[in-house]
Each structure stands twice: as C-alpha cells, then as structure tokens.
C-alpha cells in the first residue's frame, strides 16, 4: 500500500518519543528520505556497507536543517526511524547498491507551510549528511588517507581486476550530527523519495507486482533475502512446469494422432499450444493410441469356458 506522507501504524509512538507532549497524526508531516548510500559520489568518496549500517543507528533522532547551518532556528525536521536496504541496482563500479533510508517528521505549523509545499512539489529534495568518520582509506591499496599513498581520487589505476577508479572509502563512523537540505548534494541519489511502501504487510509476490508496475518500493536486507528465496522457489516450479509440458508434447507427437503430417509440421503445431490446449490434445491422443477397454469380456453362451473370460 502506497502511504505517501501518511503516518503509518506505530510511527506516531516513535515520533512522540521526541516530543514533550503527545502529538496527533494531524499535527505532523512525515516523509521518507535517502540520506546517503555506498555509491561513489561527486567528491570521489563512498560509504562502506558497514558504515551505512552503523549510521542507521546514529541518525535516529538527528535533526534536519538547511545548508548545514547549525543553529537552532534552522532546525526543520527530525529522523524518527532509519534502516539500510539493497535495491537491486548496481553502483558505478559494479557493487550491490545499498542506501540509508530514514523517516522524518515536521510540525504542520505556519512557519513550515512553505517548506512542506516545496517538499511536496519536489523543489526541496536533495540532502546531505554531516557525520564524523573514523576511517578514510584508499580504494586501490587500502591505505589510510591519514598515512597517505600514491593514488589520487578520481584517477583510474590498473589492478589485477583491470582499471579501477580511485576513491576514498568512508568507514567506522563515530557520530552523526545532522542532515541537511542542499542545492547540490555530494551523493547523487540522496534526497526525499516520493513514497514509502509498508513492507511489513507485503509478501514477496506483492513486492514483485509493485516493482513490475513501476512503483517505488523500499526493501530491507531481510526483504531482499526473502525475495531471492521466493524467486528461487518460483524458478524451480517453472522448471517442473516446463518439464511437464515437454513430456506432454513428446507423448502427443509419438501417438501418431497427426497421421501423414510431417514431424516438423506436427512439432510446430504442438509447440504453439498452451497448457490447457496440450491437456485436451493429450487426452485425445491417448484415446487413439491406447484405447481404454475392459480386461474381462462376456463370453458367448456357446464358449467352452462359459461366463467371463480374460482377453
């Protein structure tokens, strides 16, 4: 179910953990935002997958501001829940794309009306994060940037795996300060997302249906693992189905139901049939190639054994 900016079940309790008085769903504006990811950004840096997992813990409760101006009057929103997820996409250097997703809230006040309108209109969208990173290392040799190495971020270097783009891997975050609306974020995909999918109530089949229809679906690592298992099971069933239909087609062709029609033409005709049509033709073919008749047949009164005889 696409909830958009609706407060989902259980979210109001998380929001009220930060308020001095209980807030109602009508008083708050909630939205989803991708804070950062593991792709190489405009500064030739990227977060490690492990760093994103740690930041998912650190960013809960952190404030959202504008242009990284750290003053109380600039506080606009607050994150009340955070998680990481794989989307099935690839990073520019071929790794599994992973992002840090958050749910944030604002008060529906007179002073926030303009910002809420700009978020809904897609004008205020891009975001950037402020955090303390404990480890910055070279993606080519693994050396700490504090120690220094010969590799320059943004340049390509030949390795055993071929040419790779040098960048800095950000790991072991120590703290998260804030996240901010900015005009041009370092990370290209960081920003407010259009919708939020209530994953807790979605089956793997429903996720696939939503994805095939072009909807935006946020997947946690657990969702991704379940989806992979579901697809493997479905693929196994498809293989069984294909084997079953192949046996039916082979049996029909051997039955001789097509008479003098060439084998090539008969095969072409059978290959075009769907499962229901194959079942019907298979039954007819079996009737002609192996007609059903009883083993016991009434003998004539003059038969030597009388009564019934086995044919």
pLDDT tens, position by position, 268-280: 888 888 888 888 8
Structure tokens at 233: 């099971």
pLDDT for the residue 281: 85
Rounded Cα–Cα distance for residues 206 and 211 (Å): 9
Q: How far apart are CA 256 and CA 163, in angstroms?
A: 61
What would the mean pLDDT of 214-243 be, rounded to a whole number?
77
pLDDT at 167 over 90: yes
Please tell me the distance from the alpha carbon of residue 155 to that of residue 176, in angstroms, as a whole number. 29
* pTM of the full structure: 0.60
The DSSP-derived string for 123-158 is: SS-BEEEEEEEEEEEETTT--BTTT--S--TT-EEE
Q: List Cα–Cα distances, 19 to 32, 67, 106, in angstroms.
A: 19, 25, 11
- What average pLDDT does this structure show over 103-121? 92
Task: For residues 123 and 85, give the distance between their C-alpha atoms in angstroms, rounded to a whole number.
Answer: 25
pLDDT of residue 2: 38
For the chain, the average pLDDT equals 84
* Rounded CA separation 264/180 (Å): 68
For residues 126-142, give the mean pLDDT: 92
Does the pLDDT of residue 231 top 60, yes or no? Answer: yes
On whether the CB atoms of residues 205 and 66 are closer than 8 A, the answer is no
pLDDT at residue 118, rounded to an integer? 92
pLDDT band, very low/low/confident/very high, at 215 (cuts 50, 70, 90): low
More confident residue, 287 or 218: 287
Choice between 12 and 193, residue whose per-residue pLDDT is larger: 12
Contact criterion met (CB below 8 Å) for 215 and 2: yes
For residue 294, the model assigns a pLDDT of 59
Q: What are phi and psi of 98, to 5 degrees?
A: -130, 140
CA-to-CA distance for 162 and 140, rounded, in angstroms?
Answer: 11
Mean pLDDT over 51-75 rounds to 90
Q: Compute the distance between CA of residue 174 and CA of residue 144 in angstroms, rounded to an integer.
A: 16
pLDDT for residue 7 is more than 60 = yes
Per-residue model confidence (pLDDT) at position 40: 94
Q: Quickly state the pLDDT bin for 218 (edges 50, 70, 90).
A: low
What pLDDT does residue 159 have? Answer: 83
Is residue 46 within 8 A of residue 169, CB to CB? The reply is yes
Helices 263-271 and 221-254 meet at what angle, rounded to 10?
A: 150
Token representation of residue 243: 């084997």
Q: Are 219 and 83 in contact (CB under 8 A)?
A: no
Q: Give the integer Cα–Cα distance in Å for 11 and 105.
A: 10
Per-residue pLDDT, 110: 92
Output the pLDDT for position 1: 36
More confident residue, 232 or 196: 232
pLDDT digits (tens, 9 = 90+) for 194-214: 544 444 456 777 777 776 766
CA-nearest of 247, 249, 241 to 270 is 249
Residue 53 has pLDDT above 70, yes or no: yes
Contact between residue 175 and residue 132 where contact means Cβ atoms under 8 Å apart: yes
Closest CA to 118 of 174, 77, 170: 77
**Cβ-based neighbours of 260, under 8 Å, separated by 6 or more:** none
Task: Considering only residues 296 and 179, tell me which one the structure prediction assigns the higher pLDDT.
Answer: 179
303 CB neighbour count, 10 Å cutoff: 11
Counting every residue, how long is the chain? 311
């Amino acid at each position: 179910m696409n909830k958009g900016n609706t407060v989902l079940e259980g979210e109001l309790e998380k929001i009220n953990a930060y308020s001095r008085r209980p807030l109602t769903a009508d008083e708050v504006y909630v939205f989803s935002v991708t804070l950062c990811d593991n792709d190489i950004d405009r500064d030739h840096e990227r977060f490690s997958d492990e760093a994103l997992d740690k930041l998912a813990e650190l960013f809960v409760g952190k404030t959202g501001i504008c242009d990284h101006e750290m003053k109380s009057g600039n506080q606009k929103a607050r994150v009340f829940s955070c998680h990481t997820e794989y989307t099935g996409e690839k990073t520019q250097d071929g790794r599994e794309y992973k992002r840090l997703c958050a749910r944030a809230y604002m008060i529906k006040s007179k002073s926030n009306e303009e910002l809420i309108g700009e978020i809904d209109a897609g004008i205020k969208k891009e975001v950037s994060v402020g955090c303390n990173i404990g480890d910055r290392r070279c993606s080519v040799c693994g050396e700490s940037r504090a120690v220094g190495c010969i590799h320059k971020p943004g340049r390509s270097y030949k390795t055993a795996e071929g040419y790779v783009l040098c960048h800095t891997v950000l790991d072991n975050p120590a703290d998260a300060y804030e996240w901010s609306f900015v005009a041009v974020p370092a990370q290209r995909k960081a920003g407010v997302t259009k919708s939020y999918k209530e994953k807790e109530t979605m089956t793997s089949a429903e996720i696939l249906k939503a994805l095939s229809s072009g909807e935006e679906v946020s997947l946690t690592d657990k969702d991704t693992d379940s989806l992979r298992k579901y697809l493997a099971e479905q693929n196994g069933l498809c293989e069984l189905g294909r084997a079953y239909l192949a046996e039916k087609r082979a049996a029909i062709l051997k039955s001789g139901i097509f008479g003098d029609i060439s084998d090539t033409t008969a095969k072409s005709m059978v290959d075009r049939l769907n499962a229901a049509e194959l079942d019907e033709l298979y039954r007819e073919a079996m009737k002609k190639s192996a007609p059903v008749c009883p083993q016991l047949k009434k003998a004539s009164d003059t038969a030597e054994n009388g009564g019934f005889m086995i044919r």
